[in-house]
Amino acid sequence: MWRALVFIGLLCVAAFGAVWLADRPGSVLITFAGYEIQMSVAVAAIALAGLALFLALLWSLVSGILHLPSRLTFASRARRRSRGYQAISRGMVAVGAGDTIAARRYANEAERLLGREPLTLLLKAQAAQVSGNREAAEAAFGQMMEEDETRVLGLRGLFVEARRRGDTGAAQQYASEAVRLAPAAAWASDAVLEARCADHDWRGALEAVERRASLGLLNKATAKRHRAVLLTADALERVDHDPDGALRSAQDAVRLAPDLVLAAAMAGRMLSRKGDLRKAAKVLETAWRSLPHPDLADVYLNLRPGDSGLDRLKRAETLMKLAGGAPEGRLAVARAALEAREFARAREALEPLLQERPSMRVCLLMSDLEQAEHGSTGKGREWLARATRAPRDPAWIADGIVSDHWLPISPVTGRLDAFVWQAPPDVLVAPELTLHDDVTADLDDEPKPLPAVAAPSPEVVSAPAPVSEPVALNEPVLDPEDDVLKSELKAALSDAEPVKEETPPPPPLREPVVFPATPPDVPKPKEEAAARRSIFSVW
């Protein structure tokens, strides 16, 4: 639109100029070398315009002839660059598809057409990775290190290759150099933080977290949580040789994350040793409201050494009120009541937890309660046997690892703040593992370890899967033909009252449960004590 208006405007100016010259007649006389040329002003203007046009065309022709070689060279280079970038595009597709032969061919073609372009070196490195040629890949990344614009990318590639061959020291050096050159590189910052945590350099890890937060790599909530976890780890390291410094770190961690169980437990324990019971109780109660945990209950009940069992029971009642009837509150009351010999109160606290499938800790508490109140009877052994088939209680779990205590980092992946308090599965099943070639991993993805199989630690006893058909607890599993063993077990369980559990009728069209021919051994007093020690190690 604007071009049309400009053209019309110029055409109007030309028409106006022609009319202006026509209205003002005159003549132009040119004398040159004895010749005289006389013409009107209008003809002279037209002749001047034609001469200017001719000279412009002549100059364009001469200029085109003079620049013809450079233009031909530029066109050839443009065609080569076009073919080179097309080879890079096809090579990247071949790398993604895992076609090693095509990837190497396109990488060589791109290097021949483009030379040492950054994308060419990247394609060459990835083609070498796909082919399994680690030396060629590291050589390509080393060439990237020689150029300023690809130095960080080269460090990234060398870091990945060092991690793949297990050279932790070299990987840390590459990550540290990348952080120095590009502080906002997330992968390098993560690697530096992971390395410092692995070396238990908690203060250095705190500096790394602060730097990540200042660069916007972490949001405020995550940065605050990471700082609290690192301060807790620092307190664990200093608790033996520097109690005051450990207390300061634990209190700082509690201020950042009041629900961090270990930090609150450490702060409460050390404050109670210093005699500041009110402050210790406040810290523990705040953490208990967020996450009722047995470690918090243990510290809270023993804040003041030398208290009687009834005093501890009163504090346990306070915890149950703060927890709003959570299972941990009832377990704390039951344990305190058992120690205070208040058996009725212990049963009252545990009664709501017996409605469905009681957990292992509940069954063990019931066994302790029966033996403390009635002595070594069949009912106590019955609850002890039931504990081996009960659902597992919550534990600290990270990346498939079940631990009896909290750790700041995962022992498998080194991830910070990986442990969560949750119930492990009743049956531990290994995930299906898919074999793959990790050399096809892109530079944006670090090599990931195979999924860890969830397995209990040596101290953990995993509960077997429950029998498909419900079995009455007051009727032992016996061989119908073994009358001697049946009479002995019935005599052993004669003093125990039958458990008031309604056994649902078996569903129709289901095959009856076939019990094993060999009956289970009745736990003897010594064997019972050994079994109790092994089961108690679970919690």
Q: Structure tokens of 214?
A: 């200042």
End-to-end Cα separation, the chain, in angstroms: 82
pLDDT of 438 above 90: no
Q: Which residues contact 134 (CB under 8 A, 6 or more apart)?
A: 128, 161, 164, 165
Cα–Cα distance measured from residue 138 to residue 237, given in angstroms and rounded to the nearest whole number = 39
Report the distance separating Cα 157 and Cα 144, nearest Å: 9
The pLDDT, as a whole number, for residue 44 is 77
How confident is the model at residue 426, as a pLDDT? 65
**pLDDT higher than 70, residue 487:** no
CA angle 206, 207, 211 (to 5 degrees): 120
Q: Encode pLDDT of 274-333 as tens digits.
A: 888 999 999 999 999 999 999 999 999 998 888 888 999 999 999 999 988 789 999 999
d(CA 202, CA 250): 13
Largest Cα separation within the chain, whole Å, is 153
Distance CA 261, CA 419 (A): 11
Mean pLDDT of 31-43: 78
**Quick one: pLDDT band at residue 209, thresholds 50, 70, 90?**
very high
Between these two residues, 26 and 160, which has the higher pLDDT value? 160
Query: For 188-194, what is the mean pLDDT?
Result: 91
Q: What pLDDT does 30 receive? A: 79
Mean pLDDT within 398-418: 89
Share of the chain above pLDDT 90, in %: 31
233 or 538: whose pLDDT is higher? 233
Question: If you average pLDDT over every residue of the chain, what do you get?
Answer: 78
Q: What are phi and psi of 214, to 5 degrees?
A: -65, -30
pLDDT of residue 491: 44
- The first and second tokens of residue 160, run together, are 């990945």
At residue 111, does pLDDT exceed 90? no
131 and 103 Cβ atoms separated by less than 8 Å: yes
Residue 256: predicted pLDDT:
93
**What digits encode the pLDDT tens for the residues 326-364?**
899 999 999 999 999 999 999 999 999 998 889 999 999
395-398 vs 420-422, strand pairing mode: antiparallel
pLDDT given for residue 357 in this prediction: 86
Give how far Cα 69 sits from Cα of 64, 72, 73, Å. Answer: 9, 5, 6
User: What average pLDDT score do residues 113-133 get?
Assistant: 86
pLDDT for res 62: 87
pLDDT at 6: 87
- The confidence score (pLDDT) of residue 257 equals 92
Give the C-alpha separation, 431 to 493, whole Å.
Answer: 42
pLDDT for 118 equals 83
Q: pLDDT per residue over 252-273, tens digit each?
A: 999 999 989 999 999 999 999 9
| Exposed e or buried b per residue across 306-321, where buried means at least 16 C-beta atoms within 10 angstroms of its C-beta | eeeeeebbebbbbbbe
Assess whether pLDDT exceeds 90 at residue 513: no
Nearest CA to 84 out of 60, 62, 64, 109 is that of 109
Band of pLDDT at residue 427, cut at 50, 70 and 90: low
Report the alpha-carbon distance of residue 173 to residue 178 in Å, rounded: 9
Would you say residue 173 has pLDDT above 70?
yes
- Encode pLDDT of 64-73 as tens digits: 888 778 777 8
- Vertex 127: Cα angle to 125 and 131 (nearest 5): 115
The answer to whether 538 and 461 are in contact (CB under 8 A) is yes
Mean pLDDT of 387-411: 90
Q: What is the pLDDT of residue 246?
A: 92
- The answer to whether residue 19 scores a pLDDT higher than 90 is no
Q: How confident is the model at residue 247 (pLDDT cuts 50, 70, 90)?
A: very high
User: What's the token pair of residue 170?
Assistant: 């070299």
For residue 433, is pLDDT > 90? no
Identify the burial level of 89 via C-beta atoms within 10 angstroms of its C-beta, where 0-12 means exposed, 13-18 middle and 19 or more buried.
Answer: middle
Find the mean pLDDT for residues 150-174: 90
Determine what percent of the chain is predicted with pLDDT higher than 70: 79
State pTM to two decimals: 0.64
